[in-house]
Amino acid sequence: MLKVARIKLTILYSILFLFMFWAFSIGLYFWVNNSFGESYTAQVKEQQQVGEFEGEFADKEKIFIAIAGDIAMVQLRNTLLILNGGLLIIIPALAMILTRKTLTPVQQIYEQQKQFVSDVSHELRTPLSIMSGEMEIALKKNRTTSEYIQVITSSRQELNNLTNLVENLLFLTRIDQGKSFLQSEKVDLTDVINNVIAILQEKYKKKKITLKFKPADESITISGQISMLRQLFFNIIDNAIIYTPENGKIDIALSTNMNNIIVKVTDNGIGIAPQDQKKIFERFYRADLSRSQVKGYGLGLAICQSIVSLYNGSINISSHLGKGTTVTVCLPKSGKKS
């Protein structure tokens, strides 16, 4: 599809530029011709024939001008012909370069979309084939009630994962489309973070992780959508819990400076390798280490990035493999873009 677009655009650019240069050359030729060229020399010759110019010197000078004019016009015509002939080769080459430059961002988006569709299909296929396989085995012969319960429980777990994946994808799509699907309101960030910690309490306590939250001295509110802000901090704190081994430590700090609200989540978990740090905000990207240890889709941080960009803010990671990770979110005090 893009190959056809590339050929069409190259032809279009070539025709356009050649037309421009040719029109310019023809215009230039006729203008010079009218002003100093053949028409002028013809005039001179005519005047000379009717004897308008008196004296030897005047005649010679006029003849010289007439001949020089003729020669100059022939030279100009030849130069323009050679130049425009050369342009027949140069312009298509330039058009190809220009087309490549024009289409590179389109190609990148196209490749990303293709990769996205293939990642989604892959993520959907795995739980679906697990469910289908388990059900087929269960139906091959009569089973006990507990065996049926086991299959149904496992299928329900896979269905929950699928629902989670689809919800995350929908969330990302809505943000991509720039749909502000909820009204902005004043949100207390201390409350949001406390709420997220409460939801995740069971999870970090099970791993005997010590989690500390240091709120700011004053209450910090931001204009935004509570569900999005909850999702943002949930994804970050959830990661900190998941990627920190048992008996680990997580520190959360909320503070402000002149213009921004800053939230730092620091853990002493497995850390992220430098080559992965650049990629973890990409959709479906997971570091190999995490892939082998815990289940996930690689969408959490991509969602955080999209939410933060809605607020004109930033999210940064600093991490040392085997030592821990700090995620810093910076949101302008003014809140969400309208």
Ligand X SMILES: Nc1ncnc2c1ncn2[C@@H]1O[C@H](COP(=O)(O)OP(=O)(O)OP(=O)(O)O)[C@@H](O)[C@H]1O
Which chain residues interact with ligand X by CB under 6 A? Answer: 235, 239-240, 243, 267, 269-272, 280, 286-287, 290, 296-302, 325
**Cβ 175 to Mg ion shortest distance, Å:** 17
Is the Cβ of residue 142 or residue 275 nearer to ligand X in the bound state? Answer: 275
Look at strands 249-256 and 210-214 and give their pairing. parallel
β-bridge partners, 256:
261
Judged by beta carbon distances under 5 to 8 A according to partner kind, the member of ligand X, Mg ion, none in contact with residue 123 is: none
Q: How many helices (H) and strands (E) does the chain have?
A: 9, 7
CB within 8 Å of 273: residues ≥ 6 apart = 287, 289, 321
Is the Cβ of residue 229 or residue 302 nearer to ligand X in the bound state? Answer: 302
Q: Which among 42-50, 155-163, 239-247, 285-293 is the span making contact with Mg ion, rule CB under 5 A?
A: 239-247
The 10 Å Cβ neighbour count of residue 283 is 20
Q: 153, exposed or middle or buried, with CB in 10 Å at 0-12, 13-18, 19+? A: exposed
Cβ atoms 281, 305 nearer than 8 A: yes
Is the Cβ of residue 75 or residue 293 nearer to ligand X in the bound state? Answer: 293
Number of alpha carbons in the 13 Å side-chain half-sphere of residue 312: 12
Helix, strand, or coil here: 141?
A: coil
First to last CA, the chain: 37
**Cβ 296 to Mg ion shortest distance, Å:** 5
Is the Cβ of residue 224 or residue 300 nearer to ligand X in the bound state? Answer: 300
Q: Please tell me whether residue 298 binds Mg ion under the rule CB under 5 A.
A: no
**Cβ 273 to ligand X shortest distance, Å:** 9
Q: Please tell me whether residue 168 binds Mg ion under the rule CB under 5 A.
A: no
Is the Cβ of residue 220 or residue 302 nearer to ligand X in the bound state? Answer: 302
- When binding is defined by CB under 5 A, the residue of 168, 239, 266, 319 that contacts Mg ion is 239
**Cβ 294 to Mg ion shortest distance, Å:** 9
**Cβ 123 to ligand X shortest distance, Å:** 10
- When binding is defined by CB under 5 A, the residue of 69, 248, 271, 300 that contacts Mg ion is 300
Q: Which among 172-180, 298-306, 308-316, 327-335 is the span making contact with Mg ion, rule CB under 5 A?
A: 298-306
Is the Cβ of residue 44 or residue 304 nearer to ligand X in the bound state? Answer: 304
Q: 114, exposed or middle or buried, with CB in 10 Å at 0-12, 13-18, 19+? A: exposed
Is the Cβ of residue 41 or residue 123 nearer to ligand X in the bound state? Answer: 123
CB within 8 Å of 288: residues ≥ 6 apart = 276
Pick from 150, 215, 210: nearest CA to 188: 215
Which chain residues interact with Mg ion by CB under 5 A?
239, 300
